[in-house]
Amino acid sequence: MESIWSKNTHLPERPALSGHLSVRAAVIGGGMAGILTAYLLKEKGVDAVVLEAQRIGSGQTRNTTAKITSQHGLIYDRLLLEFGDLAEQYATLNQKAIAEYRRIVNQLNIDCSLEEVPAYLYSVADAEPLRREAETASRLGIPASFVTETELPFPIKGAVRFDGQAQFDPLKFLKAVSERLTIYENTVVREVKDHRIQTDNGTVDAEQIVFATHYPFLNIPGYYFLRMHQERSYVLSLQNAMKLNGMYLGVDPDYSFSLRSAGEYLLLGGGGHRTGENRAGGKYEKLRKKAAELWPDSVEVAHWSAQDCIPLDGVPYIGRYAASTPYWYVATGFRKWGMTSSMAAAMLLSDAMTGIDNPNAEIFSPDRFTPSASAKNFFKDSGHAVKGLSRQIFAPSRGAVADMPEGHGGIVEVDGEKMGVYKDEDGKLFAVSARCPHLGCQLEWNPDEKSWECPCHGSRFDYRGELICGPAQNGLEHE
């Protein structure tokens, strides 16, 4: 399950950190947000080091559909209602982020298939929300219009078109930008205290520290685990499908397919769900069924999935990590728009860290509190956390090991203790703790990915119990 970006681009290895460094700035996380932040800091005269737990771009960056757009779902009508005039900051910064990608690509002459294309939100059921969204986005300065016809191979009720958006190959871009940076790979950060970063094989003292780890792994301060949940979504890469001249996303709950072309391929995405809520599986099969219906001669050449942090009010947290640590910064909660939000975060953080007042920073501040926007989702997310914790204590196991089919996993009871067990196609058993090491929620099996997922905060582990992604910092106990 490797994305087309990973198949086509080799990123040279960087050394692991060893010993001690003293630097002005350190960026924890070598995805698009971390690399861009370090790059823009370098342009402003600050040489930052990047610390990456695995390889750069190995997290969500390599699994994105790589749309660079300010069109982030049906968001602007809601932002204007809940944030008032601050909604314009969101629109303005994301539009500037698109332009900043173009600037860097031109400056470094990067061959990353950057194309200017329109972005569409479409509905097969109801045009009115799209009409309102187009009007609001246009009022906020975005080149938006409402249309009733597209190139899609199925009828729609209406669509919002954003002109001047873009798409690209993220790893080719990342490779070029990262060449000029000091990066340490396979360097797992275990602890951050004041200005000291502790890794397995060395330490870094930094005047300023950026947490660009997708989901912050420190619970306190900041309490980001109370402010976000994570969702997964799935993608097929198809050959012999069709060439699209725009990027598309459906807004209907039962027809929310994402589409874009990438050279000779068509990317078809969808099947989103909260982590830990895919016990039945079948997400890839749903996409394959739709592909066969729309393009009977298409051939699947790759499939993969991605994970997104969803903030309470729908706006990323970009700025100071917490009031008690004014020299720490954070970039998280990008929803499903990691490429544009990564550039937006790099622009805001590099300005803040060099004393530049960015006029679009306020709406993204992690210190914000918007009761009308956050309360409903706060109680919903809290309910999921309570449910996940109570499963570990009260919920019965879901069967016996002997009854589990080959190629499946689930929560079973072994010697009076609940365990997560996967039985491979040869009948070999892999037993792990069913308890997430982050905050103790009971894990759930995702059959589409053959992985264990935390329904509370989104940590993931492979069937052997090895950590895939956080906020957990350690793998599962296993037998």
Q: How high is the pLDDT of residue 400?
A: 62
Strand segments, DSSP code E, in 356-471 are 408-414, 417-423, 429-433, 444-446, 451-453, 460-462, 467-469
CB 88 within 8 A of CB 140: yes
Q: How high is the pLDDT of residue 395?
A: 47
Q: Which helix (H) or strand (E) is 311 found in, with range?
A: strand 299-311
Give dist(CA 282, CA 266) in Å, integer: 20
Find the radius of gyration of the CA atoms of the chain: 22
Q: How high is the pLDDT of residue 317?
A: 98
For the beta sheet containing 460-462, the strands, ordered from the edge strand earlier in sequence to the opposite edge, are 444-446, 451-453, 460-462, 467-469
Q: How high is the pLDDT of residue 376?
A: 54
| pTM (2 d.p.) | 0.90
Per-residue DSSP letters for 119-159? EEEEESS-SHHHHHHHHHHHHTT--EEEES--S-SS--SEE
Dihedral sign for Cα atoms in the order 347, 352, 354, 355: positive
As given in the structure block, the two tokens for residue 168 are 């690209």
Q: How far apart are the first and last CA of the chain?
A: 26
Q: How high is the pLDDT of residue 393?
A: 44
Q: How far is CA 215 from CA 63, 157, 333, in A?
A: 16, 37, 8
Closest CA to 257 of 222, 313, 229, 295: 295
Task: Give mean pLDDT in consecutive 10-residue pieces for the chain, a chain of 479 residues.
Answer: 89 96 97 98 97 94 96 96 96 98 98 97 96 97 97 97 98 96 96 96 97 93 92 95 97 94 96 89 93 97 94 96 96 96 98 97 88 51 49 50 74 79 84 89 89 90 85 81
Q: How high is the pLDDT of residue 403?
A: 64
